[in-house]
Chain A
Amino acid sequence: MNATPDLTKARRSSEPWHTFPVTIRRVCAEAPNVMTYDFEFDNHADAQQYAFAPGQFNMLYVPGAGEAAISIAGRTSEGRFLKHTIRTVGVVTQAIAKGGVGMSLGLRGPFGTSWPVDFFSHPFLKRDVIVVAGGIGLAPLRSLVLFLIQHREKVGSVRLLIGARSPEDVVYESELNEWSENGVEIHVTVDRPSLNWRGQVGVVTLLLGRIAIPSPQSTLVMTCGPEVMMRYVAKSAMDRKIPTENVWLTLERNMNCAIGLCGHCQLGPKFICKDGPVFRYDYVRDLLRVQHF
């Protein structure tokens, strides 16, 4: 992969605990218990300086409740706000849900590795991309999809396969049309269809088995979802003759410091926060097979 980790290097000398004050400006219900929040930096200078790559994450901080690692879903279309799609589960995410519009909180980041967007820097070497999302797993892939749309001329075909428990669990529904108008072929499948559901039913790997993959060697698969789903996605990709080194996934572990110093997020030799969260599949495949590791 490419050269210097610019952001990491830039932050090396700075304070790893530096927290930006941000405010929630908009909340949008995505699915049951899942909300997308638009955050605005309180200080103009912070907004100017802040830059992330698709796949990275932030630590969102509710004073008194604590921090939670949340993947960056990207910016709003006009670029002013930063989007995070959050499922309400723990103390921090409950506090954010309760706070809603106008809530003041802290943000540290961005942290971690990104999707391998450098593959799309050569217009003469266009690669096909298959993005596979399970439920809220579409969140860290949203900024990737936007990146691919933005760099459309350097990318081959873009397919987005979405698997969700039920039709109402599909996130970013309002944006899907716009994405498909911009050249993203979208397939959605659900486990439990509603009465008026006319789309596909079944697990997302079935979609991967059905679509045409004309040149597997130059096809990239990027996936986020439950760990077991991603393992099956990788297996289906192998079955379709896509090389393991073309498959990328993003992992979740407990993150406390986000800078590789607190030890929580280890998976064998890996610190998910600094060596990941995005990994090439073949580098973590064996680790994922170990139960409770």
Chain B
Amino acid sequence: MRDLPRGYRDTQEPGKYRVAESSGENYFEFNLGPHSWKQFLFPPKQSVSSCKKTDNGWEFTTNVDSPPKFAFLGVRACELAAIEVQDRVFMEGPFVDPVYQARRESTFIIAVNCTVAASTCFCTSMGTGPKCKSAFDLALTELDDGFVVEVGTTRGRSMISDLNIRKIDREHASDSQLLQQRACDQITKRMDTSGIRNLLLENLDHPHWDDVAKRCLSCTNCTMVCPTCFCSSVTEVSNLSGDQIERERQWDSCFNVDFSYTASGTVRDDVRSRYRQWLTHKLASWHDQFDSSGCVGCGRCITWCPVGIDLTAEVAAIRNTPFSNRTLPVIQPVSKAACAFPKDVKP
């Protein structure tokens, strides 16, 4: 408990994050720091396999991750949504990521309902918060004289069975409601998500991408703090003699130039195409790939952008300046069954 930032709050603006003492003694009066829970479920660095040189050539071993059992305390509604988004990425495709799966399945989640909001929050626009609705074992709402506990799973119920708790009374229930409403009321940032997939994919040659490219430093901060960004690269970590090698998977970013390198050239070789890739993936093509938005409205990419680029403003700019000079066709969603499946062919 002493590790919690009791009596502190954060203020967030585009490109600005400050921690300050608050007037009260609450444990959860802050919103979100730069680090999401992604760092535990999808570690920034993770060895996936290793190899050893022997007299008979290389020997390969797939590394089995034996993660600690995690309990996450203070997971906000947008963060729960982000975990659910990554669940779909890492566990529901044709290939399951063994590292993520092992960690995810052993994680116990104690969520916290936000009672305040930052100026960068827009979970209400993304339909993810501020109230925690699912994917938690326990959810807390902090009142001045204690916590309201909501049980999400049987695991959660057995966890609290030994605690000194009592049934919620009407006064506490209404306080809890009011505090959650306060968070809601404090959210001022909005993103109009209506038809957003087509809006962005119909505007791939909109001049506004050039405008963002002038400001964007392509520094990768937004992708590092984003709780759903999942891009990675495997790098070789060798010992000095080069006969023992670890293959380490590290977070990567679509803002890096070499990210789209191919033998026939780099596909996205300017900032314009890289920012466009990030935004259209997050808000548009993510729907085609994973049946949801890739954005949960946590606002981290706004706060931690060194030049304060605000994706909600970029989307609004595209929406509000219809571009009639279109030369590109609308990219239609295509059913997943539209590809040839591999079939076992014997030589």
Could you write out 23 A-B pairs with CB less than 8 Å apart?
A: A1-B341, A12-B94, A19-B60, A19-B62, A51-B344, A53-B343, A63-B53, A64-B238, A79-B347, A87-B263, A104-B56, A104-B58, A112-B342, A113-B340, A114-B343, A256-B234, A262-B234, A264-B252, A264-B260, A266-B285, A286-B328, A290-B328, A293-B273
**Residue on B with the closest CB to A103?**
B57
Q: Which residues of A contact B205 (CB under 8 A)?
A: 290
Q: Mark A54-97, 1 if CB is under 8 A from B, else 0.
A: 11100000011111000000110001000000010110010000
Residues from chain A with a CB closer than 8 A to the CB of B59 are 21
Q: Are B232 and A269 in contact (CB under 8 A)?
A: no
Question: Using an 8 Å CB-CB cutoff, how does the interface string of B73-99 with A read, 1 for contact, 0 for none?
Answer: 000000000000000011001111110
Please give the distance in Å from A26's CB to the nearest CB on chain B. 17
Q: Which residues of B contact A (CB under 8 A)?
A: 48-49, 51, 53, 56-60, 62-63, 89-90, 93-98, 201, 204-205, 230-236, 238, 242, 245, 247, 252, 254, 259-264, 267-270, 272-273, 277, 280-281, 285, 288-289, 328-334, 336-347
Give 1 or 0 for each of A260-292: 1 = CB within 8 Å of chain B CB: 111110101101001110111001001101111
* Shortest Cβ gap from A255 to chain B (Å): 9
A146 to chain B: closest CB distance in Å? 9
A73 CB → nearest B CB, Å = 12
Asked, given contacts A23-B57, A105-B58, whether A254 binds B95 with beta carbons under 8 Å apart, the answer is no
B94 touches A67 (CB 8 A): no
What distance in Å separates the Cβ of B93 from its nearest Cβ neighbour in chain A? 5
Bound together, the chains give a CA A115 to CA B60 distance in angstroms of 31
Contact assessment for A52 and B345 in the assembled complex, using a CB-CB cutoff below 8 Å:
yes
Interface residues of A (CB under 8 A from B): 1-9, 11-13, 15-21, 23, 42, 51-56, 63-67, 74-75, 79, 87, 89-90, 93, 104-106, 110, 112-118, 147, 226-227, 248, 252-254, 256-257, 259-264, 266, 268-269, 271, 274-276, 278-280, 283, 286-287, 289-293
Contact B51 A252 (CB under 8 A): no
Q: Are A113 and B341 in contact (CB under 8 A)?
A: yes
**Complex Cα distance A115/B231, Å?**
28
Chain A residues with Cβ below 8 Å from B97 are 16, 261
- Check A292/B267 contact, CB under 8 A, given A106-B51, A113-B339, A269-B289: yes
A241 to B201, CA, bound (A): 29
Q: Measured between alpha carbons, how far is A229 from B104 in the docked complex, in Å?
A: 45
